[in-house]
Structure 1
Amino acid sequence: MRIGSSIALIAVGAILAFALAPGLIPFLDQVLVGYILMVVGVIGLIISIAMSNRTRRTVVERRTAPETVVERRPEV
């Protein structure tokens, strides 16, 4: 769940809980559903912000070409 979808859940939950007249949907307690959607939206928002604040750590390792070792032996 991303930040935008979390905010959308909070908005839909607030509309169901506060803006619509109670009893508009006869077989559903829309205030309770609105509160549940707002709680899920807040939890998703907290998790998505926490996940976006994590920095990705990369380790860069430089490898140089192997040094050429020249061994000189005295001529016999």
Structure 2
Amino acid sequence: MGIGTSIFLIALGAILTFALDASVGGIDLDVVGWILMGAGVLGLIMTTLIFSRRRQVVTTTEQPVEYRQVEERRDIAPPL
């Protein structure tokens, strides 16, 4: 789940919980809204943790093992 999806779930849950005053038979929209907001917050936390681990920079002090020299051949005609 990305940051955008998490924010969407939080906003949708807040709308269902605080702004909507409708009733659906057998479904409590306030509870559905709180569940969506919780899932959005959890997704936002998990996404932040994953991105923070991905951004860690690893530095090495070793030199490359092998250098290769590339030469350009001029004796072959270029393609048409």
- Match for 1:13: what amino acid? G
Q: What does the per-residue CA deviation read over 1:1-26, in whole Å, with 9 as the maximum and x for residues that have no partner?
A: 00000000000000001100042x22
Amino acid corresponding to residue 46 of structure 2 in structure 1: I
Point out where structure 2 has 5 or more consecutive residues left out of the alignment: 68-80
The answer to which of 32-41 and 14-23 deviates more is 14-23
Any conservation in 2 of the 1:22–1:31 contact (CA below 8 Å)? no
Map 1:1-76 to 2 at 5 A.
Answer: 1-23=1-23, 25-54=24-53, 55=56, 57=58, 62-64=64-66
Between the aligned residues of both structures, percent identity stands at: 44
Poorly superposed stretches of 4+, deviation over 6 Å: none
TM (normalized to structure 1)? Answer: 0.72
Q: What is the distance in 2 between the residues matched to 1:2 and 1:42?
A: 11
Q: Return 5+ residue gaps in structure 1 as ranges.
A: 66-76
Query: Alpha-carbon deviation of 1:49?
Result: 0.8
Instruction: Mark the CA change 1:21 to 1:58 in structure 2 (over 3 Å): closer, same or farther.
Output: same
- Cα separation, partners in 2 of 1:27 and 1:58, compared to 1, 3 Å: farther
RMSD: 2.0
Deviation at 1:61, TM superposition (A): 5.2
Tell which structure's C-alpha radius of gyration is larger: 1
Q: What is the Cα deviation at residue 64 of structure 1? A: 3.9
Change (3 A) 1:2 1:58: farther
Count of residue correspondences: 64
SS of match in other structure, 1:63: coil
